[in-house]
């Protein structure tokens, strides 16, 4: 398997190659990589890939985090029907 095809974000199936190309093209921060590729926006909320994205940005010369809003971890989210929200019981 090619190293470029290594999946970094399993939830969104974002590869190392996609992240590298994004960083090199836009010279972006980890937050911008997340927004441009969706890496870290899956059900795990970045728990499995956030550190790797931070390292890749650092290694490839993207913007370092300064005064911008940092990445945050999100709890897993599950869909809820309108019936449940409205108080219907099954």
pLDDT tens series, the chain, 90 aa: 567 789 999 999 999 999 999 999 999 999 999 999 999 998 888 888 999 999 999 998 866 655 555 556 566 566 777 887 788 766
Predicted confidence at residue 1, as pLDDT, reads 54
What does the pLDDT read at residue 25?
93
Query: What are the structure tokens assigned to 42, written together?
Result: 């899956």
pLDDT at 75: 62
What is the distance between the alpha carbons of residues 80 and 77, in angstroms, rounded to a whole number? Answer: 9
pLDDT at 6: 94
Write down all domains in the chain, each with its CATH number in brackets.
3-65+73-85 (1.10.10)
Q: In this structure, what token pair is assigned to residue 64? A: 């370092």
């Amino acid at each position: 398997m090619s190293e470029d095809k290594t999946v970094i974000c399993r939830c969104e199936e974002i590869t190392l190659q996609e992240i590298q190309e994004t960083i090199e093209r836009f010279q972006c921060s980890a937050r911008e990589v997340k927004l441009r590729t969706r890496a870290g926006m899956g059900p795990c909320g970045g728990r499995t890939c956030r550190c790797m994205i931070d390292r890749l940005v650092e290694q490839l010369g993207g913007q370092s985090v300064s005064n911008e809003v940092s990445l945050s971890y999100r709890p897993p989210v599950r869909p809820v029907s309108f019936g449940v929200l409205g108080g219907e019981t099954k």
